[in-house]
Each structure stands twice: as C-alpha cells, then as structure tokens.
Structure 1
Amino acid sequence: MRGTSGASLEQARELFEPILRDAGAEALELGRQLYTVVGALDGSATLRRSLTDPSRSGEDKAALVAGVLGGFDGRVVDLVSGLARSRWSEAVDLANALERLAVDAVLASAESRGALETVEDELFTLGRGLDGSREARQALSDDSVAPDRRVALVAEVLHGTADEATAFLAEQGTRALRGRRYPQVLRWLGEVAAERRGRLVASVTAAVPLTTEQQERISAALESAYGRAVQINVSIDPEVLGGLRVQVGADVIDSTIVARLADARRRLAG
C-alpha cells in the first residue's frame, strides 16, 4: 500500500502502537474486533464507499463508525473513526489497512507474553507442512468451500498445540481469504511477525535441504544487501531440480534450473 493510503496506514499504526503496548494480552481481543470490522467492510461496498468518500466530512464519517460499532471496545471505535477521517486512494485500502492493524494487535498480544517468536515459527511451520499436501492447500484456498469447514481443517492440522495467537491468525487467514490463496496469507503473516521482531523474512526454495553453512552464507549475503537481520525460511521443492529461489518481500532472485530452462526457451523462441 503506497501513496496516500500508505501514509494513512503508517500514521494509524504509529498512533495505535502505544495503545497495543498498554493493552498487553488484551490486544488479542482488539484484533478480533478489528477483523470483524474488516469482514463488515468486505461484505458491504456501500459501507466502504461511505467511510472513504472524500466529499463527506470527517465528523460525519466518524459518527457513522460510532453508530455501526456500538458495543465495540472504545479503542477500536477510536481507531476506525480516525481511519475514516483519513484519505484513501481506493475504498478497499481502508479494509486492507484495518486487516494489517488487526494482525498488529494479535501479534502485540503474543509479544506481551514473550511468544512472538513462537508465533512466527508456528506460522512458518504450518505453511511448510502444507507444501506437501496439495489437497489441503487447495481446500484452504477455495472460496467455494464453507469458511467453517476451512477453519475446522486448520484446527485439525494444528492439533490444538499452537499458541492462541497463531491459531487465531491461521484460522482467520482461511476464513477471510480476501482474494488470496492460503499459503500466500501465511507468508504475509509471517513477514509481519518478522517485521515486528525487527527482521526481514527470506523465503528460500531449494531442491534439497541446505546445510547450516549454506544457510549462514545466504543469510549473511542478504543481511549485507538489506542492512537488516534476515530470517531464512527454507522450503524444499524437488521440482526446481537445482539452484535456489529467494524471495524477500517483492524482490525475487530465481536461479533455479527450472527458471534457467524457461529463460532459455524464451530466448530461443524470441
């Protein structure tokens, strides 16, 4: 999210962060309520337009928020009211911003309990586990499957052993796909968790397991390039044949044999 919408989100995050620190473990409930607001916005184009209409006054939109969110935590009402007063490039950006703030709240609750690293690891482990189950990936990414069935499948995979923040985010991620596939949602959640810990996430795909020395070399190279600590998450995919595919955010370095063969075919065809 960039431009006007990105600036509005960053301002909201800056103002919301002290509230999350004060809330401690209670921030999980704030996250739950914010996800409810996201669902309401996703389900009502009229509400989205009403809260992002630049021709309406900020006070008018804040009054609408107060009316819609009667019974919600005052901190959530204040946050959403402030966002409604802000400017958005597109109506959908408001819901996207609220989803990010909801994730921030859930992760802040885990952080207050010293469980943030655990949540990050569990999200990655869940995503890696799904790599070996095409059927599960498809079911959890299929909007035609009832949301409650998808949530039940996630709960079954987690076996009731995950941190409560992990379980909530993992289940919410499939309940509200928002046009994404489930593995994509998990990767994004992991990146947000890593960012909260002051780290970047590098998703590395290889044909065979990497040695500790190889992972350390990749980590050092990426930390030098980005100037920040980098969390290396390695996935194994025999279909890449050889080489590595490294993704850090939107940046992709693909040196796999499959990618090189595809590039060679394009050159020959051209």
Structure 2
Amino acid sequence: MSHFRGASVDAVATLTDELGTSVSGSSERAATVGDELFSVAATLRGEGALRRFVTDGSIPAEARTGIVGEVFGSRAGEETLGLLRSAASRRWTSSGDLPDALEHLGVVAVVTSAGNDAGRLADELFALAQAVKDNPSLRDALSDPARSVDDKRALVDDLLRGKSLGATAALAKQSLAGTYRTVGVALAEYQKVAAEVHGQGVATVRVARELSAADRERLTEVLSRQYGRPVHLNLVVDPSVIGGVKVEIGDDVIDGTVSARLDDARRRIAG
C-alpha cells in the first residue's frame, strides 16, 4: 500500500521497525501477529466511530491507547497489542490510513513467518495470481459477491492444501478481504511486500519457452547488477513473444522480444 502520505508515512515506518523487533526469531509468533493484525484492520474498517476516535489527534494519546486496549485486549496477544497502542498514539493523515497500515503490517508479519522460504513464498503467490488470471471459473468464484468470504476461503484452502506454505495460504485468504480491486491485484501487492522485506526487486519476465536454470541465473545476475539489489524473477511463458525476452521491473520495461521488433517494423513500413 504505497498511498500513504504525510504523517502516515512516518507512522508506518516506525511501526514496521517495531514489528520487526517484536516478531524477530519466531515464525510462529510472526504468523499469529499477522493474523491478529488482519482481524483488527477488518474491525476498524467496519467501525467508523472507533476508527475516527483512535486517529483523532485532538484526543489525548492516553485515551486513544486506552480504548484500543479495552476493545482488543481479549482478542490479541501482547505483541499485537503493543503495536496497536503504538499506532493509536501516532498521527495519521486520514483515519482510513490506520486499518490500511495494520493490514500492511500483517502482510509483513506473515512474510516474515516464512523465514528462509521467502523465495518459495514469492513464487507461490505469483503462481496463484497467474492461476486466478488464467482460470475464468476460479476468478469468478473468488469474486462472486453472492458467495460468502468463508466459502471463498474454503475454496482457497482446498486449492492450496498440501501444496503451499502456510504463509501463502494466509495471504491468499487475506486477498479475499476486498481491500484491493481484485484478488490478483492483492496477490501482486503481497509479492512486492515479500520482496521488499528481503531487500529485493521483482521482475516479470516473458519468454516464448521455459528458460534453463543457467539462463535464469544469468538473467537474475544481470538484472541484480543493473538495479543494484537482488531481483526475484517471475517467469511467464508466453508463445506470443515468439522469441527474445521482455522484462518488467517497477516502471521499467525492457522489450527485446521478436514480436516487439516485428511490430516496430510494421509501423515503419506503414509510416
């Protein structure tokens, strides 16, 4: 969630540091905190009066942190409550930034719970996003307003059971919360967070056929060197590119595909 502005940027940065300290060294604790933060974010989105009270800078910080303890004390552990009290004591540019920030922190916590499997988590999130994109019946089932969220989560459980990390399943189910425009957009954002937590960039690479392990490693090294930090590859096999490689990383697009050169040639001839 990159829309934070003003005071909210500072609040999110501080809370992210506090989260890292509170869940350091425990995957189980990180997963629990992530789940609790998702729950609190959902509550604050649905309870406008509570959200506005907690983010009202004209109300003493002691009162704001106190109400957080009263409302969530029985529903969250000490690590999560500590983060909530800290969040309630800070300034926010808008009241809606608070639940958005808590959801973001929840994603960071779940990503942290994956530990050394961060690369696998990123791959699984991307694969799931592609499956949703390429399977109309699955996409419709997950976006159907007539189906309950619990029903959709059960569908995700069936889809991922025994095939993915617990962190992947947790984020897949959170993608159904409706915070983002679509499930696919949510999963893409979660993958970006997963990469950022581990100091990486994400590059989507389109090729006509699968790359060999050596070619993947070589491309990863080239992009990492070019962008000055490790890069995680999302590989998409797309026969329409004919040959060559198209790389999308951030706002940059490097199109070295045969199809792009053919399109360019057609434009030159037509012109």
Same fold (TM over 0.5): yes
Mapped to 1, the partners of 2:240 and 2:40 lie a distance apart of: 41
Structure 2 residue 228 is matched with structure 1 residue 224: no
* Alignment match of 1:13 (pick from 9, 16, 19): 16
Which position in structure 1 is the counterpart of 2:171?
Answer: 169
1:176-195 → structure 2 map (5 Å cutoff): 176-195=177-196
Which position in structure 2 is the counterpart of 1:204?
Answer: 205
* Alignment match of 1:39 (pick from 42, 62, 65): 42
RMSD: 2.9
Mapped to 2, the partners of 1:143 and 1:207 lie a distance apart of: 36
Distance apart, 1:186 and its partner CA = 1.3
1:60-139 → structure 2 map (5 Å cutoff): 60-71=63-74, 72-111=76-115, 114-139=116-141
Seen in structure 2, the aligned counterparts of structure 1 residues 119 and 88 have a Cα distance that, compared at 3 Å, is same
Q: Note the residue ranges of structure 2 that are not aligned, 5 or more in a row.
A: none
Retained in 1: the 8 A contact 2:123–2:234? no
Q: Which residue type is aligned with residue 253 of structure 1?
A: V
TM-score by length of 2: 0.83
Secondary structure of the residue aligned to 2:24 is helix
Mapped to 1, the partners of 2:253 and 2:51 lie a distance apart of: 37
Seen in structure 2, the aligned counterparts of structure 1 residues 213 and 119 have a Cα distance that, compared at 3 Å, is closer
1:235-250 → structure 2 map (5 Å cutoff): 235-238=236-239, 246-249=247-250
* Alignment match of 1:160 (pick from 159, 162, 170): 162
Structure 2 residue 39 is matched with structure 1 residue 59: no
Retained in 1: the 8 A contact 2:208–2:238? yes
Retained in 1: the 8 A contact 2:55–2:88? yes
Which position in structure 2 is the counterpart of 1:148?
Answer: 150
TM-score by length of 1: 0.83
C-alpha offsets along residues 28-58 of structure 1, whole Å, 9 cap, x if unaligned?
1111111110110121222221221222221
Retained in 2: the 8 A contact 1:200–1:248? yes
Mapped to 2, the partners of 1:201 and 1:34 lie a distance apart of: 25
Distance apart, 1:215 and its partner CA = 4.2
Which position in structure 1 is the counterpart of 2:253?
Answer: 253
Mapped to 2, the partners of 1:137 and 1:242 lie a distance apart of: 29
Secondary structure of the residue aligned to 1:115 is helix
Q: Note the residue ranges of structure 1 that are not aligned, 5 or more in a row.
A: none
Mapped to 1, the partners of 2:96 and 2:243 lie a distance apart of: 40
Mapped to 2, the partners of 1:224 and 1:144 lie a distance apart of: 48
C-alpha offsets along residues 194-253 of structure 1, whole Å, 9 cap, x if unaligned?
22232211123445544556645643443233210101101234566777654334x142
Mapped to 1, the partners of 2:114 and 2:129 lie a distance apart of: 19
Distance apart, 1:115 and its partner CA = 3.2
Q: Which residue type is aligned with residue 75 of structure 1?
A: E
